[in-house]
Amino acid sequence: MTSSSDVPARLAAVRETMYTEFAREHEDPWIVAYSGGKDSTLLLHLVWEVAAAASPGESRRPIYIVSNDTLVESPLVIRHLRQSLEVIREAARAAGLPITVKMTEPCIDQTFWVNVIGRGYIPPTRNFRWCTDRMKIAPTNDLIRKLVIAHQRAVLLVGTRKSESQTRGRAMTQRGVTATTMNPHSTIPDCRMFAPLADLGDDDVWKILMQRRPPWGGTHRDLITLYRNAGGGECPLVLSKEDAPSCGTTSPRFGCWTCTVVQKDRSMRGLIDAGHEDEDMLEALADFREWLIALREDNRNRLPVRRDGRTKLRDDGTRVFGPFTLEVRQTILDRLRALEEQIGEMLVQSAEIEVIDDIWRRDRICEKGRLSFLASVGVDPEHMSA
């Protein structure tokens, strides 16, 4: 049990560890994983202070701030993230700090809409969570790999804390993660991980943020208000499969607005219930997300065969259905376009539409071939969907 009066001492210990690491003689860059949530904001706040305090001649190692946009982020969260990154970029330039801001996105062939509307993947479920790897882990790790290649080695700083959840605490302990040690990255050689906030509690983080102004200017007020209204946590920058359980869980957190891994999006509903100024837009997005869940649950919307043409039966003999039919994919696109009009926000990019059109063209050719084959062997495709 930690006491609130110990917060200054705990903060001083974190700072001390970070100063010591920053002052080491090697020139490995620091890569800061920044989601715009409270933990990574505090992490960046401390990194900035450490870098700003380094005297000339002391280590001027490059610092990269790395964020990810899945392209289906909650509009409020992505707005906050992009605005804060812009302020940080400008302030770092003005202060002469060696800070570079990088934003990653999923490869255009692997976005949420290309997979759902293009390939007909059902919106993700707990057992078929195809999204995290494609939309978060792969793009971020790709960039980290490139930075490691450019600099030979790097240190990745993350805002993860043992008290975030029991699962997180257990995983960190099993991997031997402490606030003062460097750990190897699970998939990127020559990249070491550093989690200096590991021992801080939730309250510590809030207290520290509330009592301080960000060194890049402004206040942490927008962040605090966003959290207070949503009553939630955050969907963090997910860097590895071990981190992934915290993305799309039932705890209230900001994730993709389309996240169908959870039945109820508590952060979005929290903002609506709190009477947020963008309540109408949030309500429309929440309704669309719930409609996607309903579509997924109705087997009549799905093909009887999987994308690779194979059929699959469960142990009890019931069929495992495949992707959405082309008609349903078209319906989703039409309704998404209507939603864009309604809320005045772009939700799907034109490059995604091009990839979707391309996939549909190929799928139509395959579907024609499948139907003519079934006809040639006397099978009525209608019976396959039973």
Q: Closest separation between CB of residue 254 and ligand SF4, Å? A: 8
Q: How many residues bind ligand SF4 (CB under 6 A)?
A: 14
**Comparison of 70 and 141: residue with beta carbon closer to ligand SF4:** 70
CA distance linking residue 131 with residue 248, whole number of Å:
10
Does residue 248 belong to the site contacting ligand SF4 (CB under 6 A)?
yes
In angstroms, the Cα distances linking 253 to 82, 167, 364 are 18, 16, 39
**Comparison of 70 and 301: residue with beta carbon closer to ligand SF4:** 70
Q: Closest separation between CB of residue 112 and ligand SF4, Å? A: 7
Q: Closest separation between CB of residue 322 and ligand SF4, Å? A: 20
* CB neighbourhood size of 294 (10 A): 9
**Comparison of 220 and 329: residue with beta carbon closer to ligand SF4:** 329
**Comparison of 190 and 290: residue with beta carbon closer to ligand SF4:** 290
Does residue 322 belong to the site contacting ligand SF4 (CB under 6 A)?
no
Does residue 261 belong to the site contacting ligand SF4 (CB under 6 A)?
yes
Does residue 124 belong to the site contacting ligand SF4 (CB under 6 A)?
yes
Does residue 201 belong to the site contacting ligand SF4 (CB under 6 A)?
no
**Sole window of 43-51, 89-97, 256-264, 269-277 interacting with ligand SF4 (rule: CB under 6 A):** 256-264
Does residue 71 belong to the site contacting ligand SF4 (CB under 6 A)?
no
**Sole window of 11-19, 124-132, 196-204, 216-224 interacting with ligand SF4 (rule: CB under 6 A):** 124-132
* CB neighbourhood size of 303 (10 A): 23
User: Hey, which residues does 61 pair with through a beta bridge?
Assistant: none
**Comparison of 54 and 171: residue with beta carbon closer to ligand SF4:** 171
Out of 256, 332, 343, 347, name the contact with ligand SF4 by CB under 6 A.
256
Helices 38-53, 202-210: crossing angle, 10 deg rounding: 60
* Residue whose Cβ sits closest to ligand SF4: 248
CA distance linking residue 102 with residue 68, whole number of Å:
8
* CB neighbourhood size of 93 (10 A): 10
**Comparison of 85 and 135: residue with beta carbon closer to ligand SF4:** 135
Place of tokens 């009553």: 231
Does residue 255 belong to the site contacting ligand SF4 (CB under 6 A)?
yes
Cβ atoms of 274 and 229 within 8 Å: the answer is yes
**Comparison of 29 and 159: residue with beta carbon closer to ligand SF4:** 159
Residues 125-184 binding ligand SF4 (CB under 6 A) are: 129, 131-132, 135-136
Out of 122, 259, 272, 292, name the contact with ligand SF4 by CB under 6 A.
259
Chain contacts with ligand SF4 (rule: CB under 6 A): 70, 124, 129, 131-132, 135-136, 235, 247-248, 255-256, 259, 261
